[in-house]
Structure 1
Amino acid sequence: MISNFFNILHLRYRASGVSAVFSPRKPRHPLLRLAFGLLGLALLAVLLVFGVVIGAAMLTAGLAMRLLRQREQPDAGRQRRGALDGEFRIVDKPLLR
């Protein structure tokens, strides 16, 4: 029952001419098709090159910022790796009843 409802809506949509507005059509002339195809490939190449250049610039800027950033001098207490500095307190286990 529900499938018939959607089929009727689909048929009304196609019969009304609305679907023709949104469906892409290729030009019929072969040279015009070729021109649009080459234009699409050129646009794709430009976007690809633009993306690669922007990505390379971002990587270069990140590396430059990392190299130019001044590193902090290690403190005398922090020279050993893996040692934690802090205050500790032993907590007794609660008695089970």
Structure 2
Amino acid sequence: MINRTFRSAHARFDASQFGAMFAPRKPRHPLARIAVGLLGLALLAALLVVGVVVGTAMLALGLARRLLTRRPSAPARRGAIVDAEYRVVDRPAHTLPY
């Protein structure tokens, strides 16, 4: 029964039939093929230019923001003493096994 179900499902979704519905078709006319190829290259170039422009704008805005914002008042100096109270915590009596 499983074999029969698998065969009928496989026949319904066979790559030659089901995948063919979504496969892109190339035009048969040679000039149409060249036009579609050039359109694809133009789309790729446009997306590349937009990506570079957006990336450059993001970097420029980040640098401008960094230059224009005020820095924090005096940062801690190296070697400065930090005064604090510490408490030693005992190890728990039971530990979880690994």
Q: Same fold (TM over 0.5)?
A: yes
The structure-2 alpha-carbon separation of the partners of 1:41 and 1:3, relative to structure 1 and needing over 3 Å to count, comes to: farther
Distance 1:24 1:65, change over 3 A: same
CA distance in 1, matches of 2:89, 2:9: 73
Q: Summarize the Cα distance change of 1:19–1:87 in structure 2 as closer, same or farther, 3 Å threshold.
A: closer
CA distance in 1, matches of 2:25, 2:41: 18
- Please tell me the residue identity of whatever aligns with 1:23: A
Aligned partner of 1:81: which letter?
A: R
| Residue 83 of structure 1: how far off its partner (Å) | 3.0
In structure 2, what residue type is equivalent to 1:88?
Answer: E
Corresponding letter in the other structure for 2:48 = L
**1:44 match:** 44
* Number of residue equivalences: 89
Give the residue type in structure 1 aligned to 2:86: R
% same residue: 54
Pairing 1:66–2:63 present = no
Query: Aligned partner of 2:42: which letter?
Result: A
- Report the TM-score, using the length of structure 2 for normalisation: 0.69
Which residue type is aligned with residue 37 of structure 2? G
One-letter amino acid matched to 1:28? R
Further displaced range: 31-40 or 83-92? 83-92
Q: What CA RMSD, in Å, does the superposition of the two structures yield over aligned residues?
A: 3.0
Return the offset for 1:7.
Answer: 5.4
Displacement, 1:40?
0.3
Shift of 1:3: 7.8
Q: Is the contact between residue 12 and residue 18 of structure 2 (CA under 8 Å) also seen in structure 1? A: no
Any gaps of 5 or more consecutive residues in structure 2?
A: 92-98
